Amino acid sequence: METWGYDPTDVIPRKAFLVWQKVGGQVIGAFDTEIPGAPPEGSAESLVGFVSALPGIKSGDGAPRPYLHSHMMAVKEGYRNRGLGVQLKLAQRKEALEHGIRLIEWTFDPLEIKNAFLNIHKLGAVVRSYLVDFYGVSSSRLQGGLPTDRLVAEWRLDSPHVEGILVGRALSALVLEEQIRVPAAIYDWKATEPGREQALAVQMENRSKFLEAFSRGLTVVGFVRDTEGNGIYELGNASQLELI
């Protein structure tokens, strides 16, 4: 509620988190144990971030394979941009690999430049599908009343592409076929009533660009921010990345 401003109907009950852990999912916390009185094993008071995931089954070609669907990650506002988000994802990856899971997926709002940067640029996730108004109406403050369109991040945990990104290896130059832009002003537009129409216009334009590009078999292979803070999705052929 603190992060998303959800009303109680959108909040996941504590019991659900217990069940996710029991059936092979993950609930991972980041704790500030230097808060006076905080126990070293963490406590509700010292929780400053979390990430959670449900177990899933991927079927399609070949035998069904287990994977994790990550659902929700947050870092308390005063603790952001210090690397905790990346650390939470790395803890998630480590735990998954220890259990033989090689894929984690999650959805994210294509208009959230910071999240796209984190997911694609810093973690090495790729994207090849777009979900239109995935959750329907959301009480999330971050959604700004817009349709809940989502991109699906695909994180191939032990692929050479992801391993290379995580150790900071420079990527070889990619052949890009399309770029899709999100203006830095989107955050202000989403947050205010007068800006809502502009945010919606960007969402609709980018929605059709993504759907069209994915129908042509393109993949989001990179994401960059320019000097003004605008975000740019880079799309090309996935075969350029070592994803297996």
- Judged by CB, which is closer to ligand COA: 35, or 208? 35
To ligand COA, the closest distance from the beta carbon of 84 in angstroms equals 4
Under 8 Å CB-to-CB from 151, ≥6 apart: which residues? Answer: 107, 108, 109, 110, 116, 127, 129, 130, 131, 210, 220
- Three-state DSSP class for 178? strand
Site for ligand COA in 161-220 (CB under 6 A): none
The only residue of 28, 68, 84, 111 in contact with ligand COA, by rule CB under 6 A: 84
- DSSP letter (8 states) at residue 173: P
Paired residues of 225 in beta bridges: 231
Stretch that binds ligand COA, among 93-101, 115-123, 130-138, 156-164 (CB under 6 A): 115-123
Cα 29 from chain centroid?
17
- Three-state DSSP class for 232? strand
Stretch that binds ligand COA, among 20-28, 84-92, 169-177, 206-214 (CB under 6 A): 84-92
72 binds ligand COA (CB under 6 A): yes
127 binds ligand COA (CB under 6 A): no
The only residue of 1, 11, 18, 86 in contact with ligand COA, by rule CB under 6 A: 86
- Judged by CB, which is closer to ligand COA: 104, or 118? 118
For the record, the structure tokens of 37 come out as 């009185």
Stretch that binds ligand COA, among 18-26, 81-89, 127-135, 167-175 (CB under 6 A): 81-89
The only residue of 81, 215, 227, 239 in contact with ligand COA, by rule CB under 6 A: 81
The only residue of 115, 159, 203, 206 in contact with ligand COA, by rule CB under 6 A: 115
What are the counts of helices (DSSP H) followed by strands (DSSP E) for the chain?
6, 9
Paired residues of 63 in beta bridges: none
- Judged by CB, which is closer to ligand COA: 185, or 238? 185
Residue 144 to residue 127: CA distance in whole angstroms:
23
Residue 167 to residue 49: CA distance in whole angstroms:
23
Cα 223 from chain centroid?
13
- Judged by CB, which is closer to ligand COA: 3, or 43? 3
* Alpha helices per DSSP H over the chain: 14-22, 84-98, 113-116, 160-166, 186-191, 196-215
118 binds ligand COA (CB under 6 A): yes
141 binds ligand COA (CB under 6 A): no
Binding site for ligand COA (CB under 6 A): 3, 72-75, 80-86, 108, 112-115, 117-118, 142, 225, 229
